[in-house]
Structure 1
């Protein structure tokens, strides 16, 4: 498995775990037995995002997150967008289709017959409705992204425009990309330089909009017919890129994983240390990760000063250096307030280098990149 390594700033905080209570040390100032109730909103700005669909890199239509779409016309999430129809010109005439998703591909059907598949939808558009307003979403380009494991994943470059002379708030109507064209090394490596505006389709499992509770993840018939466009650089996009694809159900097929493994992966990418869905990172924050196939990383073989945590479906099994601490050392107070206590130090685990001593549900180990 290939991993992206990005140079990072120096670490700025020493974290000490005290016996019989919590001790934080920063610039020589110590605080024992901190009570989360006393912290108020201190340094929780990073943690205002809860779940995997609230980041600044999530696909939006005029500031409104697109969220999950149902293949059934007229069906929508609460305050969400509903799909209407797919339209494409053929021979000078426009024809309408029912939009469907299969194996991560967009498809167009007429009377139950497949008429358009994947790249054949290039140049088409589908219409969404919300609160009586109609939005046309244009499929500008279709391409395959090859994951580090060699799996080809269809990707779509989408552009939208409200079908009205002005926006509901009176602003002029403009055409916009669904996904922000983020320019980060890991995105450029996967989709090409300057092509971060592509998205892939997530289906087979449906994640909540405002949290990441395992009980709220919908699978099977509760997820059937629902899909989401995951923009490049989002946690859902990265989850598929590292080989955890919810649409793959064959245990022998590339990309297969369990719901628990996917949950641990999402928590890793959004820095959900407490397992509550609250994130403690920002878009583009550098990270090194490794799984069981990467023993030099999974067994914390890198510089021990760079260790972040071991990830399980419940969040951080332990914590040495939070990935954003070099920019805001006070982030530990936010983590403390959210978790109720800081996770124990990974470096204090006497079996940290022994596979059998790791939690049975460990999925990833992460590191802050070299200073």
Structure 2
């Protein structure tokens, strides 16, 4: 059970490797899983950014506007047997569906529902994404409610089982791959920044992505009282964006411990903390002690963390003890 204190085996992203573009908010791929020096549970390592047939659905507009990859929602179908024209919404960073009569579907009631998405082009047909699993998992923050997660699958004749999870998880256990959702906000993959006040947009955050970790840490925009600045500081911390310009200085399997200023997240009492890594703000690292990857050379000059603490920022991180 994840509560106030926990031990994190930090997982970076496929794009955290040199030369990749989507460093911060993507997840570890199969080629990197084998490189992990630690056992890393799904929500700590996870899968790639949400996509359908190679096009990103990481962010979608509830009113059907196309995202940056041209993908758009074209319809929503309630589970079989339920009548009524239901409309998909996001409330408290969770999916809900309502019809004109005021009936509401949420949680496990959405299993069997279908979200239709369509790629650009006159000959493109809608692709059904089915909600085939629902689970509430413990938040990583003390006092925070459980986090809703969804298994989202779409038909793919080229896949081993004829279906594929939008999070590109284990092909033999497609329902095990899951995502959480974040309402009213999207995230810039290059700069590791928050795009707030996008009221009709949702982010599909696959297990292990920086956005999913942010949500599990209790920093969802609709499900917490956090500010965009606090959420951006969380993204900078999760992705080790020391300089604040979007470059990540982490890799899969790197162990790190963290705590926030509010005290809802802290290292486990038995964790052996190494040296202080950094104090984090929305602009990146306020200071830098020992980088989580030994020998890291940053493209910016940061002061020592001597005399600074989590009270000076939103987060503080520590490397693992040798």
TM-score bin, normalised by smaller chain: 0.7 to 0.9
Worse-matched range after superposition: 310-319 or 99-108? 99-108
Over residues 227-279 of structure 1, what are the superposed CA-to-partner deviations in whole Å (9 max), with x where a residue is unaligned? 0111121111111222212114xxxxxx3211111111110001111111222
| Paired residue secondary structure (1:345) | coil
Measured after TM superposition, the shift of residue 98 of structure 1 is 2.5
**C-alpha distance in 2 between matches for 1:324 and 1:52:** 16
**C-alpha distance in 1 between matches for 2:217 and 2:278:** 18
CA separation of 1:345/1:145 partners in 2, compared to 1, >3 Å: closer, same or farther? same
Q: Does the 8 Å CA contact 2:59/2:201 hold for their aligned counterparts? A: yes
Measured after TM superposition, the shift of residue 344 of structure 1 is 2.3
Measured after TM superposition, the shift of residue 133 of structure 1 is 4.0
CA separation of 1:173/1:78 partners in 2, compared to 1, >3 Å: closer, same or farther? farther
Measured after TM superposition, the shift of residue 180 of structure 1 is 4.2
**C-alpha distance in 2 between matches for 1:273 and 1:47:** 18
Which residue matches 1:219? 196
**C-alpha distance in 2 between matches for 1:69 and 1:76:** 7
| Structure 2 unpaired stretches of 5+ | 29-47
Over residues 115-143 of structure 1, what are the superposed CA-to-partner deviations in whole Å (9 max), with x where a residue is unaligned? 43332110122111012243221111112
Find 1:267's aligned residue among 233, 236, 258. Answer: 236
Which residue matches 2:132? 140
Over residues 24-69 of structure 1, what are the superposed CA-to-partner deviations in whole Å (9 max), with x where a residue is unaligned? xxxxxxxxxxxxxxxxxxxx94363456444443222233332211
Measured after TM superposition, the shift of residue 88 of structure 1 is 3.7
Are 2:320 and 1:364 equivalent residues in the alignment? no
TM-score by length of 2: 0.75
Larger % of helix: which?
1
Are 2:63 and 1:72 equivalent residues in the alignment? yes
Q: Does the 8 Å CA contact 1:128/1:135 hold for their aligned counterparts? A: yes
| Structure 1 unpaired stretches of 5+ | 9-43, 183-193, 249-254
Q: Does the 8 Å CA contact 1:89/1:95 hold for their aligned counterparts? A: no
Q: Does the 8 Å CA contact 2:58/2:205 hold for their aligned counterparts? A: no
Which residue matches 1:345? 304
Measured after TM superposition, the shift of residue 288 of structure 1 is 0.4
Find 2:94's aligned residue among 85, 96, 105. Answer: 105
Kindly tell me the number of residue pairs found equivalent between the two proteins.
285
CA separation of 1:47/1:239 partners in 2, compared to 1, >3 Å: closer, same or farther? farther
Which residue matches 1:286? 255
| Paired residue secondary structure (1:90) | coil
Which residue matches 1:324? 293
Q: Does the 8 Å CA contact 1:7/1:370 hold for their aligned counterparts? A: no
1:172-251 alignment, distance < 5 Å? 174-181=162-169, 197-213=177-193, 217-220=194-197, 223-248=198-223
Larger Rg: 1
